Homo-oligomer: A and B are copies of this chain.
């Protein structure tokens, strides 16, 4: 295993607003900034009913950098009308990203269990392709996030780094890249190779961290804090950084368990775990 340096400061620490789900945007921004967090990935629900310009200013006035907007995608459907709606929704997400200064929109690509994975994958190709002209015009990229194979039924038909890389090569557009989330890809024996391939192609946009906590009691909302599980987070970060990646380490934790606790305590735990286990 290569030597990977410890994270001794928080200059590259980013939090997803969903991680501290009980906090609305104003509180999250204030708390993150006070804790020395430097980046924020904004989930679209946190912008609902707000002025995008005010949200942008709120974040930048606090000294935080918008790392990305979560999330677009959900392209596949056996229903053609719904596929058109999904594309329209992704174009709106691109507008929002541009308005708050997010350099890319993270894509949870989607899946429709009423049709084959082959069909869903084709529709993902079509959906992404339909959004890239607008993405380039706005200067906002699209980041394919391969999701764990346990979501192939209903959330994403793109389930490995290899698939994400293949899809990027096939579409071959400068505004398309990949978001690597350790939770989804840690198990993959080809992970190091595909991270290298992604970086070589200049497509590795984002790096998300959390942990695989056992037993998994809920498919969606039982992620662990770094150090609570069995993912080789630091080693994977090393592979990512060897490609030249100097972006943020984004903490994205969905956890019914943690969401029930006091968010100030959780934020403190994240900061400690970030240094110790990331």
Contact = CB atoms under 8 A, between A and B. Distances in A.
A219 interface: yes
Interface stretch (A19-27, A94-102, A110-118, A267-275): A110-118
Interface in A107-132: 113-114, 116-117, 121
Contacts of A4: none
A159 interface: yes
Interface stretch (A147-155, A171-179, A244-252): A147-155
Contacts of A61: none
Contacts of A117: 187, 189, 232
B114 A188 contact: no
A201 interface: no
Given A148-B149, A150-B149, A159-B187, A219 B230 contact: no
Contacts of A188: 149
Nearest to A163: B189
Contacts of A186: 152
Contact of A215 (B148, B163, B219): B219
A212 interface: yes
A230 B148 contact: no
A210 to B, nearest CB: 13
Nearest to A115: B230
Contact of A154 (B154, B160, B214): B214
A62 interface: no
Contact of A150 (B114, B150, B163): B150
Contacts of A212: 113, 152-153
Contacts of A88: none
Q: How many copies does the complex hold?
A: 2
Interface secondary structure of A, over-half rule? loop
A5 to B, nearest CB: 19
A116 B1 CA distance: 11
A172 to B, nearest CB: 19
A148 B216 CA distance: 14
Contact of A216 (B114, B150, B162, B215): B150
Interface in A217-275: 219, 229-230, 232
Interface string A38-81: 00000000000000000000000000000000000000000000
Contacts of A113: 212, 214, 229-230
A216 B117 CA distance: 18
18 contacts: A113-B214, A113-B230, A114-B230, A117-B232, A121-B189, A148-B149, A149-B149, A149-B187, A149-B188, A150-B216, A150-B219, A152-B186, A152-B212, A153-B214, A154-B214, A159-B187, A159-B189, A162-B189
